Chain A
């Protein structure tokens, strides 16, 4: 059974109120969901909080899920909308500017800062790597919402143009345009990182 069929079967069970099936779905997709949200908002704890909301929404919306649609497309549509709602909430509260959101956490040892080279024996190399990570994260977070989602889904989740189009409710040519503009921006922002 391919992963997509397995997801569809689990969702059909979730529709019938099967909590074990729901738990399996969470375990299968928690990584992708948490990391996608983290790439948008930057805080690990908040990313997990929002990810939980996503999965609760999956449970609540189970009756609306159609097995003909790929589950990950449906799931990441909820993820994208959750991120947009979070941005709007922060804007309404005037909490932080987008630029501030894009700044790295001050405490490099806070939860979630489990980067590959953090435990490197060479402190200066670890510091350089952290700085690079911060720079890349900021560049991605500063992209317009739809461009950022297209980049994250394409680069990290392996979505096709068609799948991204379904998540963003746009056409495939529009997705190509979003990716092109995002890459042009990233090319400028990440000079010196490649």
Chain B
């Protein structure tokens, strides 16, 4: 293992991710290369120093206080409306409303269109519209470009 390979393996060596053969090669190189040894000492030394950091233990009664806080939170914001059953009911109501609204809208539009169409034909039969007017009117009704 050369210097470049050794340095590329610093993290794996620290995290015990190297297999036995590569570990041995790593250690052998560090034992013989002063530059890599110094670099490794600094890299590993900082990681060892990090582990020295202490942190406070949980104070007495933390679990109890957490449960109380949970109770307070649920009392303030019961969020009943977010309970699964209510969510499904709400979603279902929205879906039904949209579907019904869409259907009625389509029905209304369709009926209106049929009525206008019938009127055009009625006028045509009474010879009150020229043929090309009938065609143009029907095109407009259908939204086509005449």
Contact = CB atoms under 8 A, between A and B. Distances in A.
A83 interface: no
B50 interface: yes
Contact of B46 (A44, A176, A186): A186
A103 interface: no
A23 B14 CA distance: 36
Given A48-B58, A111-B59, A155-B50, A19 B67 contact: yes
A189 B43 CA distance: 11
Contacts of A179: 11, 15
Interface in A23-45: 23, 26-27, 30-31, 34-35, 38-39, 44
B106 interface: no
Contacts of A35: 55-56
Contacts of A180: 10-11
A190 B62 contact: no
Contacts of B53: 39, 133, 136-137, 140
A105 to B, nearest CB: 11
A15 B6 CA distance: 49
B67 A22 contact: yes
A38 B50 contact: no
B57 interface: yes
B48 A52 contact: no
Interface in A172-194: 176, 179-180, 183, 186-187, 189-191, 193-194
B118 interface: no
A136 B49 contact: yes
B49 A193 contact: yes
A136 B54 CA distance: 10
Q: State the majority secondary structure of interface residues on A.
A: helix
Nearest to A115: B54
A145 B66 CA distance: 26
Nearest to B73: A56
Interface string B65-98: 1110110010000010000100000000000000
Interface string B27-64: 00000000000000111011111111111111100110
21 contacts: A19-B67, A23-B63, A23-B67, A26-B62, A34-B55, A47-B56, A56-B70, A56-B73, A60-B79, A111-B59, A114-B54, A136-B52, A156-B51, A179-B11, A183-B14, A183-B46, A186-B46, A186-B49, A193-B45, A193-B49, A194-B41
Nearest 7 pairs between A and B by C-beta?
Answer: A194-B45, A112-B56, A35-B55, A187-B46, A193-B49, A186-B46, A26-B63
Interface of A: 19, 22-23, 26-27, 30-31, 34-35, 38-39, 44, 47-48, 51-52, 55-56, 59-60, 63, 111-116, 132-133, 136-137, 139-140, 151, 154-156, 161, 176, 179-180, 183, 186-187, 189-191, 193-194
